[in-house]
């Protein structure tokens, strides 16, 4: 009986021992996951660039209002320390791959650098939690590419943790100290690559192009502006070949992007196109289509624009409002009045001006009447285009 018990203990002990797989299996699995993350960040970076520079671009994961990578790219949270967040992701995965290359050196003996990789993966995962919080509670939109990146980061953390258990090095700080020493002694080509990488990263934020900053063409004295018979401000040609009526919200990124594009076209072709502006704030204060506000500040900005039109300073005010930060909580009336050239007293009293309220509600109702449900929207020759204006409409006139 005693002998049988001893045999059972031996068998149980043997079963509890997990034999490591060949090291290349672990190495190439982690490499594949890291490269997948790198490719995800490259696509996200290209998408971020095109969202801000390509008029007609829509990314593959712009599925709905609730699941939309483009909305995330348009938010102020997509930029960190002068560069897009996915570009920092490329840098992070690049650093991870360089560190990973050290583990395949013969003198690493399968044990070196894994503590540094574990700390790096832990940082990636922690940052993923922070970004997930921003998505959920600040931007309030889900991003498929972002969620895929979070999954990749947690997978890396788990895999590196498994590998450290398979090829153990006792003592957290002891292993970390040995990893750092292994990077520099003796000097390796991998070390040179790492230093060059850090050098490039240190100067990149200072030279990276700020393509997400674009400004509207200045309204000059020789640029023709006016008011339609219905009281709508317009800019462009006195005798236009093409009249575009836009319905816009000052807190809408796509509205600003399209407006910038149209204004540039008009500045280059002032005798062919007229742009007529109508206010369509996505705010239930003025918009009966909404039960809750999509853009809380859009109502007060529309009031400022409608009042400026009464003083003949609409386009000066319009350009200032499009440059307002999307997270605006308060509006400095005095500065806005001074920069646009309107009366401070009149602008301060605009929220109680019945004429201002009537103009905004009239614009919204006219939009709803022709089928406008969101911004931006455009009416050309009696036909409605929502979201964007087909480029061929303008190209036909410019030919």
Whether the model pTM is above 0.75: yes
The last residue of a domain, from among 181, 207, 233: 207
- Claim to verify: residue 159 and residue 103 sit in the same structural domain: yes
- Claim to verify: residue 233 and residue 108 sit in the same structural domain: no
pLDDT by residue for the chain (399 residues), tens only, comes to 454 544 444 444 444 556 778 888 999 999 999 999 999 999 999 999 999 888 778 888 888 878 889 889 988 899 999 999 999 999 999 999 999 999 988 888 888 999 999 999 999 999 999 999 999 988 888 899 999 999 999 999 999 999 988 887 788 889 999 999 998 877 788 889 999 999 999 999 999 999 888 776 666 556 789 999 999 999 999 999 999 999 999 988 889 888 988 998 888 888 899 999 999 999 999 999 988 877 888 999 999 999 999 999 999 999 999 988 766 777 899 999 999 999 999 999 999 999 999 999 999 999 999 999 999 999 999 999 998 888 788 777 776
Does residue 197 lie in a domain region? yes
- Claim to verify: residue 194 and residue 244 sit in the same structural domain: no
Q: What CATH number does residue 392 fall under?
A: 3.40.30.10
The last residue of a domain, from among 177, 207, 237: 207
Residue 236 falls in which region: left (phi positive, over 0), alpha (psi -120 to 50) or beta: left
- Claim to verify: residue 165 and residue 246 sit in the same structural domain: no
272's tokens = 């062919």
CB 215 within 8 A of CB 259: no
- Claim to verify: residue 165 and residue 23 sit in the same structural domain: yes
Q: What CATH number does residue 110 fall under?
A: 1.20.1440.130
Residues in the chain: 399
Dist. CA 397–CA 48, nearest whole Å = 30
Task: State the residue range of the domain holding 164.
Answer: 19-207
Does residue 6 lie in a domain region? no
Q: How many domains does the chain have?
A: 2
- Claim to verify: residue 190 and residue 258 sit in the same structural domain: no
**What is residue 184's three-state secondary structure?**
helix
CB 284 within 8 A of CB 292: yes
- Claim to verify: residue 114 and residue 189 sit in the same structural domain: yes
DSSP assignment of 118-172 equals HHHHHHHHHHHHHHHHHIIIII--B-HHHHHHHHHHHHHHHHHHHHHHHS--S-H
Does residue 13 lie in a domain region? no
- Claim to verify: residue 170 and residue 57 sit in the same structural domain: yes
- Claim to verify: residue 296 and residue 246 sit in the same structural domain: yes
Does residue 2 lie in a domain region? no
């Amino acid at each position: 009986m005693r002998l049988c018990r001893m045999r059972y203990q031996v068998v149980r002990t043997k079963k509890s021992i997990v034999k490591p797989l060949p090291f290349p299996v672990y190495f190439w699995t982690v490499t594949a996951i890291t490269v997948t993350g790198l490719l995800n960040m490259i696509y996200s970076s290209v998408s971020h660039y095109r969202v801000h520079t390509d008029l007609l671009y829509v990314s593959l994961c712009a599925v709905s209002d609730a699941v939309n990578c483009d909305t995330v790219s348009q938010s102020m949270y997509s930029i960190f320390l002068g560069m897009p967040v996915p570009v920092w992701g490329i840098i992070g995965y690049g650093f991870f791959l360089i560190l990973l290359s050290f583990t395949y050196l013969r003198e690493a003996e399968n044990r070196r650098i894994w503590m540094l990789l574990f700390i790096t993966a832990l940082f990636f995962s922690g940052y993923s939690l922070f970004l997930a919080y921003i998505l959920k509670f600040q931007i309030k939109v889900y991003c498929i590419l972002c969620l895929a990146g979070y999954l990749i980061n947690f997978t890396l953390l788990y895999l590196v943790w498994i590998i450290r258990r398979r090829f153990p090095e006792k003592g957290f700080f002891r292993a970390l100290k040995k990893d750092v020493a292994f990077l520099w002694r003796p000097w390796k080509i991998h070390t040179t690559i790492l230093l060059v990488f850090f050098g490039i990263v240190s100067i990149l934020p200072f030279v990276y192009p700020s393509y997400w900053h674009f400004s509207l063409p200045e309204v000059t004295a020789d640029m023709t502006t006016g008011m339609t018979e219905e009281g709508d401000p317009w800019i462009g040609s006195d005798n236009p070949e093409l009249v575009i009526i836009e319905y816009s919200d000052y807190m809408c990124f796509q509205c600003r992007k399209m407006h910038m594009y149209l204004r540039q076209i008009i500045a280059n072709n002032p005798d062919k196109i007229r742009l007529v502006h109508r206010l369509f704030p996505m705010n239930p204060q003025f918009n009966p289509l909404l039960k809750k506000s999509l853009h809380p500040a859009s109502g007060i900005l529309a009031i400022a624009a409608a009042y400026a039109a009464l003083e003949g300073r609409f386009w000066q005010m319009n350009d200032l409002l499009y440059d307002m930060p999307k997270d605006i909580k308060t509006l400095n009336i005095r500065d806005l009045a001074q920069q646009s050239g309107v009366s401070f007293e009149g602008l301060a009293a605009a929220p109680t001006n019945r004429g201002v309220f009537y103009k905004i509600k009239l614009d919204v109702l006219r939009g709803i009447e022709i089928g406008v449900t969101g911004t931006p929207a455009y009416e050309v020759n009696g036909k409605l285009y929502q979201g964007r204006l087909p480029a061929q409409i303008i190209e036909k006139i410019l030919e």
